[in-house]
Chains A and B, each alone.
Chain A
Amino acid sequence: MQRKRDPLATFKSNQRLFAISSIALLLGLVGFTPAYGGVSQQRFIPAGTYVPFFISRDPTKKSTAETVRKPTPVPAFWMDSSLVTNKDFLEFVKKHRDWRRSQIARVFADESYLKHWRSDVVLNKPADLDQPVTNVSWFAAAAFCHSRDKELPTTDQWEYAIEDAGRHSEDVKKKILSWYSAPNPKVLREVKQHSPNGYGIYDLYGLIWEWTQDFNSAMIGSELRSDGTKDENLFCGAGSASATDASDYVKFMRYSFRSSLRADYTTANLGFRCAREEKK
């Protein structure tokens, strides 16, 4: 037998619900700020090629010796010059309630989602506005980019952008290495404090790690044996053998970082920017 519900209680709770939603609506209206000019600028990145850290497997061949070593083509695309900031993300969650800290479905982000904020739509202090947003999952990052008619950059696009057509490559590599070896700062600096690269893109290194659209394409060892056989030669077990440039430790770090992620992970030094394919 289903318990009968007291009609008065139902009415009262509906009334309370109505009051709460009216207040929420009012707050929402007050809190709403018209789109400011801070929507991240996009930079055009011309087509070219780059050599990924791991060479792609020639599907017709089985062994490492027969892997393909040719560079990967990257079609032209647009990329945000800046990382997405707390301010940008705040604007997003104000409009999209489902992505607020208290509302998000657990399947889309773990418990530390936006934990550095005071509450759903309040930051800890105004100084945080221009810091890159972190503690965001891949699902949340992808939803943010979609809301702006963009996508997360593919790993190929991202790596191609940081390669910067080879400009100052030795210098950049040194800077990245020293960033890797430094401990994580307690407080992140604001975005765009250092000069951009040759494409006009800021903070590809030196501040945080970034989600890519296909972060889950990086496979290690057994994951990549699509036929289920033990071909240890193919992947990371033989990482140095299949790496195109075994000395390229910085690329290797990014590759292994991405392959360690799960789409619901959030952490204090992982954020994102958006990109868009060049319309044909």
Chain B
Amino acid sequence: MKLIPILGLLAISVSLSGSVYNQAVADTLKNLPLKSRSIYQSKSQWETQDGDKTGLEKLRGKPVVAAMIYTSCQASCPLMMSDLKAIEHGLSVDERNGVQFAAFAFDSKKDTPNQLKSFSEKHGVSLARWTFFHGSPSSVRELAALLGVKFKQLEDGSFDHSNAISILDSEGVIVRQQLGLRQNPEESIKTLQRLLDH
């Protein structure tokens, strides 16, 4: 039974000219059941830099570059942001518009939507493509578990954390992870281009 609407959609998408991004198709796709391996299965709740309350499924529909950040840290976060931007800059303007960047804050206390907003301004990123997410400690813990990110809050409130950039397909399935900082972004860029070609 599930196959029939999918086949129908395939017929529609094939009949449309190649890479044109079609809102109607995207909207219909969003009504199909989520894939079993999609991280959007998570019911965790978040708030964006603009204070909008949302679930992860908000990201459904376009490939996503996802990472966890910590805005008051001195050491690794500027590096994490520059790694993310390196991926963005490796894409053509057209490609960039087909991709979303999602940065999730570790620090539920300090990284409020307001703080995330000014962080985004400081980094001069386009909020048309980028979203910064604030969540409760349990949302953060669950997302870290989904992305395979390890973290620990230290006594002074700062965080130690591992660094992973996850590339998700338009359904929220992790297709690639770039582990560690200052990695060559080329493979991640290629992965995104492959996802956009589909």
What residues make up the interface of A, taking CB atoms closer than 8 Å to B?
1-3, 5, 13, 56-57, 59, 68, 72, 105-108, 138-139, 142, 151, 213-214, 216-219, 222-224, 226-228, 259, 262-263
Contacts and interface: CB of A to CB of B under 8 A. Distances in A.
A224 B160 contact: yes
A216 B196 CA distance: 32
Contacts of A68: 155
Contacts of B42: 107
26 contacts: A2-B9, A3-B7, A56-B154, A56-B155, A57-B160, A59-B154, A59-B158, A107-B38, A107-B41, A107-B146, A139-B145, A151-B138, A213-B141, A216-B141, A216-B145, A216-B150, A216-B151, A217-B151, A218-B150, A219-B152, A219-B160, A223-B150, A226-B161, A228-B79, A262-B148, A263-B148
- Chain B contact patch, size range: 35 or more
Contacts of B156: 59
Given A2-B12, A219-B152, 6 more contacts: A1-B15, A3-B4, A56-B152, A105-B38, A228-B180, A228-B181
Q: Which of B12, B150, B159, B161 has the most CB of A within 10 A?
A: B150
Interface in B144-170: 144-146, 148-152, 154-156, 158-163
A235 to B, nearest CB: 10
Nearest to B74: A227
Contacts of B1: 13
A133 to B, nearest CB: 19
Given A59-B154, A228-B79, A263 B38 contact: no
Does more than half of chain A's interface fall in helix, strand or loop, or is it mixed?
A: loop
B36 interface: yes
B146 A227 contact: no
Q: Which of B141, B149, B181 has the most CB of A within 10 A?
A: B141
B37 interface: yes
Contacts of A1: 11, 15
B8 interface: yes
B138 to A, nearest CB: 8
B106 to A, nearest CB: 11
B182 interface: yes
Contacts of B145: 138-139, 216, 263
Closest 5 CB pairs of A and B: A227-B75, A263-B145, A2-B8, A228-B181, A217-B152
B163 A228 contact: yes
Contacts of B57: none
Nearest to B172: A107
Contacts of A108: 41
Nearest to B144: A216
Nearest to B76: A226
B142 interface: yes
B37 A105 contact: yes
Contacts of B146: 107, 263
Contacts of B125: none
B39 interface: yes
A223 B162 contact: yes
Contacts of B127: none
A226 B160 contact: yes
B76 A107 contact: no
Contacts of A57: 154, 160
A214 B158 contact: no
B144 A222 contact: no
Given A107-B37, A107-B38, A5 B4 contact: yes
Interface string B68-79: 000001011001
